Amino acid sequence: MIAQLVRQQTAAVRAQPGSAYYLRQRLNAFLHEQGQESLPDTEVDQLIQILEEYIDYTPTLLEQCTTIAQLSGVGSTAAPFLQQAAHYFLEPNDLIPDHYGLYGLLDDAYLANSYLMDLSLRYKRLIGISLLPVDLCNTNQIVRAVIGEQVAAQLDQIWQETARIATAHSMQQTVENWFRGLASGRQQSSIGWNSSGSWGGMFEDRVAAFGARNGVSLNVSYDMGDWS
């Protein structure tokens, strides 16, 4: 349900006239920072399309995380954090307001995917199961470079503060629930993703190809914070 609300929100924003205008402006500024005075519109259009796919894939990742959490027997403890991942997406007046069109959705997707990545890492450490079918570290690093360090740092602070809600008690409850369900046969002890042809890898490959063609570097530092 929450993923569908995110889809509806993104569809409404994208339906706005000139929804790509501010993202195009930001990309031109970013490319200028990279030493590229101008690029053909076709190249910028391609990068916009790639970033649109990143935005569009976020509700699918929410659904996949929800499904794997339920199958793993930790659905009830994961649910509040999954809802938090979507909450910022549904807030129109955030760091980059949604009236900026696709650019206003890009920070939402970055923050939501940071939540999901953090949550997946926590569960991987606790019960050996990743909630995500793809590794988002490199993908988020790319988007971070586009939205800029100043905005990205504020977004990181938001999700890292929320991550502290995952107290030792709640994580302990997660482990206890999982082992209790495993003993009763309610969930699988091993759940694997087929990562072949994963969206994350394709995204990174396409951005890398864009950078190679145009002499643009998207290598930035990315700090996941203290999720251990």
Is position 142 within any domain? yes
Cα-trace Rg, the chain: 18
Please provide the DSSP assignment of 64-111 as one string. HHHHHHHHTT-HHHHHHHHHHHHHGGG-SSSSS-GGGTHHHHHHHHHH
Is position 221 within any domain? no
Is position 72 within any domain? yes
CA pair distance 31, 39, nearest whole angstrom = 8
Residue 95 phi, psi (nearest 5): -60, -40
- With cut-offs at 50, 70 and 90, classify the pLDDT of residue 20: very high
Residues 156 and 114: beta-carbon distance below 8 Å: yes
Domain span at 195: 2-214
Is position 188 within any domain? yes
How does pLDDT run across 108-135, given as a tens digit for each residue? 999 999 988 888 888 888 778 888 877 7
pLDDT at residue 76 in the model: 80
Is position 224 within any domain? no
Is position 219 within any domain? no
Q: What is the mean pLDDT of the chain?
A: 78
Residues 132 and 117: beta-carbon distance below 8 Å: yes
pLDDT at 208 over 80: no
Residues 152 and 144: beta-carbon distance below 8 Å: yes
The pTM of this model reads 0.80
Is position 226 within any domain? no
Q: Taking CA 116 as the corner, what is the angle to CA 212 and CA 201, rounded to the nearest 5 degrees?
A: 25
What's the structural domain count of the chain?
1
Is position 220 within any domain? no
How does pLDDT run across 159-200, given as a tens digit for each residue? 887 766 654 445 555 555 544 554 445 554 444 444 433 556
Residues 188 and 71: beta-carbon distance below 8 Å: yes
Residues 120 and 132: beta-carbon distance below 8 Å: yes
Number of C-alpha atoms within 13 angstroms, CB side, residue 45? 3
Tokens encoding 6: 């995110």
Q: Taking CA 86 as the corner, what is the angle to CA 207 and CA 192, rounded to the nearest 5 degrees?
A: 65
Number of C-alpha atoms within 13 angstroms, CB side, residue 192? 3
Residue 81 phi, psi (nearest 5): -75, -35
CA pair distance 175, 122, nearest whole angstrom = 11
